[in-house]
Chain A
Amino acid sequence: MLINYTLIAVNPLAPLYTIFMNAEYFFGLLLFLLIVLMVALLTERIEKVRRLRTLNSELTRETVKLEDANNELEAFAYSVSHDLRVPLRAIDGFSRIVIEDYEKDLDEEGVRLLNVVRDNTKKMGQLIDDILLLSRAGRQEMKISELDMSSLAKNIYADFDQDTKGRTVIFSVDDIPRAMGDRALLTQVFTNLIGNAIKFTGDKDISKIEVGFKDAKDDNIYYVKDNGAGFDMKYYDKLFGLFQRLHTQEEFQGTGVGLSIVQRIVSRHGGRVWGEGELDKGATIYFSLPKNLD
């Protein structure tokens, strides 16, 4: 009976026990699933970190490569500025010494030939200087400040007094707004544009050069306009090309680097350069600068 009793006594608990057992099983299962999930998440996480690390080290490698390339470029520019000038000076100097010291032994043609050598060394010297300017315009660190564009343009024009001496030049600067930019670089922009305007109006009786302004939504648009030799719009795509020239050396001297420098500097400021021209009527070169420079 005792056994029976016991059985009876146990039996009422049996469903509970089953539920408890099921619950334990359920929680166990839940725990197991949770662990599986966590392991899966963790594995994924670890995988992600690993991938990130690989990407990171790849990036570091690329950065080092880029730095190497930059240093190489810097070393190249340095070498150009120093090493290429030395032989050039020797060629120019010694041709001149021959003219000086052997004047009586040389006929007119001999002197002319040596002067051809000297003219070309001068051109190459100019080319080296311009390439260096271009490289510097691209790599020089920018210090942004507010600039009085009107007095900048006027001062630069005044620096060209040697080139405008004896000529009739009407130079005007409109009421143009200030700009945010790097002083040295934007000085270079105006130097090249105003210098071009002075050069290409060289054979006009009266040269007219105007520095003006147009308002746009987000940009200030400045321009330098002249009444000089201009250019044919059908060659417009060559206007800003490096070493591209739209005039012969006999017409106007130059290396074809000036507008490339302008374009590089303006684009570093987040702006744009464009132009319009007509042959023998003149040219206008525009450049835009963002009103708010971040």
Chain B
Amino acid sequence: MSLDEVEILLVEDNPTDAELTIRALKRKNLINKLVWVKDGAEALDFIFAKGIYSKRNVDDLPKLILLDLRMPKVDGLEVLHEIKANEKTKRIPVVILTSSKEDRDIVESYKLGVNSYVSKPVEFDEFIDAISTMGFYWILINKPPSEVPHGTD
């Protein structure tokens, strides 16, 4: 898969949670164009085509970003802020996928313009159900704007 036609960008530092998430998305055949990055810094590099991803075409944006909140280096809220503050990337749907059910995380995420907030269930069946439904909705049912504007210049 070319890194320029990514559908889902999964930002998750915990490998077991990432494996479970990918397994859930696989049930709806949503993992063919999925890229998994392991922390917020790598996510920003990918989205803005910097660092190890500097060869990527910055205009090819993922269709969906699944973002964990607590991660080393750059945490999820900072990544969310960067995405939503940038004219080019702010239309990408971002879904927070986290273990936290804390009100302040939810409030802060929505303040920053998150498109959806999903608290990952502990129970496996509920988890698989929540994640696959969410992925199916954002990739296959939701209608994004057809033309993503290329900046304001």
Which A residues form the contact surface with B (CB < 8 A)?
78, 81-83, 85-86, 88-90, 92-94, 96-97, 118, 121-122, 125, 132
Contact = CB atoms under 8 A, between A and B. Distances in A.
Q: Is the interface of A mostly helix, strand, loop or mixed?
A: helix
A85 B120 contact: yes
B102 A78 contact: yes
Contacts, number: 52
Interface centre among A83, A90, A93, A121 (most CB of B within 10 A): A93
Given A85-B122, A122-B123, A90 B20 contact: yes
A96 B99 contact: no
Interface in B116-153: 120-125, 127
A89 B18 CA distance: 11
B124 A92 contact: yes
Contacts of A93: 16, 20, 124, 127
B122 A92 contact: yes
B99 A82 contact: yes
A116 B121 CA distance: 19
A28 to B, nearest CB: 72
A83 to B, nearest CB: 8
A100 B99 CA distance: 24
Contact of A92 (B99, B101, B123): B123
Contacts of B98: 82
A122 B125 CA distance: 12
Nearest to A132: B101
Nearest to A97: B23
Contacts of B127: 89, 93
A86 B14 contact: yes
Contacts of B5: none
B4 interface: no
Nearest to A121: B122
8 contacts: A81-B102, A82-B99, A86-B16, A89-B127, A92-B123, A93-B20, A93-B127, A94-B16
A121 B125 CA distance: 13
A88 B121 CA distance: 10
Interface in B1-40: 14, 16-17, 20, 23
Contacts of B70: 82-83
A89 B23 contact: no
B127 to A, nearest CB: 6
B17 A86 contact: yes
Interface centre among A90, A118, A122, A125 (most CB of B within 10 A): A90
Interface string B90-114: 0000000011111000000000000
A122 B121 CA distance: 10
B20 A81 contact: no
Interface centre among B120, B124, B125 (most CB of A within 10 A): B124
A273 B129 CA distance: 40
